[in-house]
Structure 1
Amino acid sequence: MRKEDRPVLVFDSGIGGLTVLRELRLLLPYEPLVYLADDAAFPYGNWEDGELQSHLVALFGKLIGARQPKAVVIACNTAFTLAGEALRRAYPETPFIGTVPAIKPAAERTASGLVSVLATPGTVRRAYTRDLIEQYASSCHVRLVGSERLAALAEAHIRAEPVSDSELLAEVADCFLEKDGRRTDVVVLACTHYPFLANRLRKVAPWPVDWLDPAEAIARQVVRVLGSDVLSAPLSAADTAVFTSGRKDADARRLMTGFGLEV
């Protein structure tokens, strides 16, 4: 395969990584993109860590062999915090750009010193996440909030299925802390699904906070990793979306078409 035909692969357990793909398009308009949704295994929160890591290493072996990507963006905090290092060891010739909770920028932005990290239960329990807090936010009070349902609610929302304000508030209420006259002022969206709900979350929040979306920072890192390999002229091939379940239903086609992808 010619180097210029090799795609940037954007990977997520579902549709959340589309928030990252959207930012990549702005910075890398000529790069061929393949979006891979591991919907057959969604949600990752239901997996045991060892089984999920083995699943991801095996799945990427197939993906890299078939697609020969010039870079892989793991647009999923749960997947990268669990399996990022294992993937880099297994496939050292492939650059992996990961998604981790944006704890460092949150610590830099907070005025109150009260920060919440809204994530999946898997990301919350990772030592990786706690190491980031110790390294970058030791002077802050960081509350980890693991949501069992918010990723699935985001998937439902983007497919125009009904999601009530009360359902959303139940998932994010623990993010809001008042302590010694101070309030939480930054909430890290530590799952790429969550930015699809940002406007709804602003509406149900008990007070305004900075909802920190890492998608733009991830896209900038991809540009840095590709360096001189970034394409400066368009190719004829269309960007594509692949579902591990093999789904090609009308809703999936309509959603992906809205993001400029062919299923």
Structure 2
Amino acid sequence: MSGSAPIVGVFDSGVGGLSVWRALREALPHAHLSYLADNAWAPYGERPAEALRERLGALVRGWRDREPLNLLVLACNTATAVGIDALRAEHPDLPIVGIEPALRPALAATRSGRVGVLATRATLGSARYQALRAACLANAADGAAVHERAADGLADAIERGDEAAAEALCRSHLRALLDGAPGIDTLVLGCTHYPLVLGSWRAACEGHPLTLIDPAEAVARRALSLLAGAAAAVGAASRGDPAWRCTGGPEALTRATRQWLGLSSAEVFALQS
């Protein structure tokens, strides 16, 4: 490791993982970030779980053939929910950090005892999420409740860069969630796409003071702890330019790095299928 920056792979089905990329960039200033968007298969939220596990396995094997990853971050709730256990079993030598809806901090933050979760159908329907939900509620205060809604169409609108459509969907999904559970005071953004439109969420929350919970910073802290030894070894070694790859056309990710991260010179390479 000495003399070179650790390589951190950041995976998402599309552009949603840019919210996690941003947090990792701050927490790991000397790491080389390698981003892979599986936009040829996006959105993941409505794909069968077994097909996703097979897809993830093939992508990570190919990735490791190209780059000596020191850490992999699954910056996608759906990929984590359906695939992280299989990936860890296949790659025991590779530290893998997943992301999941931040129920624990939300239940710690709520004053009313009612927490709302907006996520994809695949995430909400996964066994991993259901186990997380049960464990969190078992340790929560008496009377605590978690209310979910599948935010259909929202990740796709953000993927397209359609801010008007995304804001309309934020409003409609939040309204439906609050209509069903009006006491909610804390909202978990359960898909990495969603924090990219924080302005839309704040506009949608007008008149409903809600605490918004984004797990990206917790993921970055976990990544930092796993790479602490490597970071100490390389010190101020140059991290190089971030790597950007996708499985479909590069236009969406190129646009998204400018739109959501303010990067004007990111060069995205499309992988050969």
User: Once the 2 structures are TM-superposed, how far is the Cα of residue 162 of structure 1 from its aligned partner?
Assistant: 3.6
Deviates more, 1:103-112 or 1:46-55: 46-55
Q: Aligned residue for 1:163? A: 165
Deviates more, 1:132-141 or 1:117-126: 132-141
Q: Aligned residue for 2:53? A: 53
User: Once the 2 structures are TM-superposed, how far is the Cα of residue 211 of structure 1 from its aligned partner?
Assistant: 1.0
Q: Aligned residue for 2:115? A: 115
Give the conservation status (yes or no) of the 8 Å contact 2:158–2:166: no
User: Once the 2 structures are TM-superposed, how far is the Cα of residue 254 of structure 1 from its aligned partner?
Assistant: 4.5
Relative to 1, partners in 2 of residues 1:177 and 1:63: Cα closer, same or farther, differing over 3 Å? Answer: same
Distance of 1:73 and 1:193 partners within structure 2: 15
Q: Aligned residue for 1:9? A: 9
Q: Normalising by structure 1, what TM-score?
A: 0.90
**Matched residue SS, 1:40:** coil
**Matched residue SS, 1:176:** helix
Q: Aligned residue for 1:232? A: 235
Give the conservation status (yes or no) of the 8 Å contact 1:114–1:177: no
Establish whether residue 172 from structure 1 lines up as the match of residue 174 from structure 2: yes
Establish whether residue 41 from structure 1 lines up as the match of residue 41 from structure 2: yes
The one of the two structures with greater contact order (alpha-carbon pairs below 8 A, sep at least 6) is 2
Q: What RMSD in Å do the two structures reach over aligned CA positions?
A: 2.1
Distance of 1:49 and 1:164 partners within structure 2: 26
Distance of 1:202 and 1:144 partners within structure 2: 19
**Matched residue SS, 1:116:** strand
User: Once the 2 structures are TM-superposed, how far is the Cα of residue 25 of structure 1 from its aligned partner?
Assistant: 1.1
Distance of 1:236 and 1:132 partners within structure 2: 35
Distance of 2:131 and 2:31 partners within structure 1: 34
Deviates more, 1:170-179 or 1:26-35: 170-179
2:157 to 138, 153, 156: 153
User: Once the 2 structures are TM-superposed, how far is the Cα of residue 10 of structure 1 from its aligned partner?
Assistant: 0.5
What do residues 73-125 of structure 1 show as CA deviations (whole Å, max 9, x unaligned)? 00001001111000000111111000011011111111100001110000010
Residue 262 of structure 1 aligns with an amino acid whose one-letter code is E
Q: Aligned residue for 2:83? A: 83
User: Once the 2 structures are TM-superposed, how far is the Cα of residue 6 of structure 1 from its aligned partner?
Assistant: 4.6
Deviates more, 1:123-132 or 1:72-81: 123-132
What do residues 172-200 of structure 1 show as CA deviations (whole Å, max 9, x unaligned)? 22332576xx7101111110000012221
Distance of 1:45 and 1:160 partners within structure 2: 18
Relative to 1, partners in 2 of residues 1:47 and 1:87: Cα closer, same or farther, differing over 3 Å? Answer: same
User: Once the 2 structures are TM-superposed, how far is the Cα of residue 36 of structure 1 from its aligned partner?
Assistant: 0.7
Q: After TM superposition, where is structure 1 displaced by more than 4 Å over at least 4 residues in a row?
A: none
User: Once the 2 structures are TM-superposed, how far is the Cα of residue 161 of structure 1 from its aligned partner?
Assistant: 5.2
Distance of 2:236 and 2:63 partners within structure 1: 26
Distance of 1:134 and 1:164 partners within structure 2: 30
Deviates more, 1:114-123 or 1:253-262: 253-262
- Name stretches of at least 5 consecutive residues in structure 1 with no aligned partner: none
Establish whether residue 74 from structure 1 lines up as the match of residue 81 from structure 2: no
Q: Aligned residue for 2:271? A: none
Count of residues in Structure 1 that have an aligned counterpart in Structure 2:
257
**Matched residue SS, 1:137:** helix
Q: Aligned residue for 1:209? A: 210
User: Once the 2 structures are TM-superposed, how far is the Cα of residue 30 of structure 1 from its aligned partner?
Assistant: 1.2
Distance of 2:132 and 2:64 partners within structure 1: 29
Q: Aligned residue for 2:222? A: 221
Give the conservation status (yes or no) of the 8 Å contact 1:49–1:82: yes
Relative to 1, partners in 2 of residues 1:54 and 1:178: Cα closer, same or farther, differing over 3 Å? Answer: closer
Residue 145 of structure 2 aligns with an amino acid whose one-letter code is H
Distance of 2:200 and 2:212 partners within structure 1: 11
Q: Aligned residue for 1:194? A: 194
User: Once the 2 structures are TM-superposed, how far is the Cα of residue 155 of structure 1 from its aligned partner?
Assistant: 2.1
User: Once the 2 structures are TM-superposed, how far is the Cα of residue 164 of structure 1 from its aligned partner?
Assistant: 6.3
What do residues 134-178 of structure 1 show as CA deviations (whole Å, max 9, x unaligned)? 11124411011111111112223xx36542643332222233257
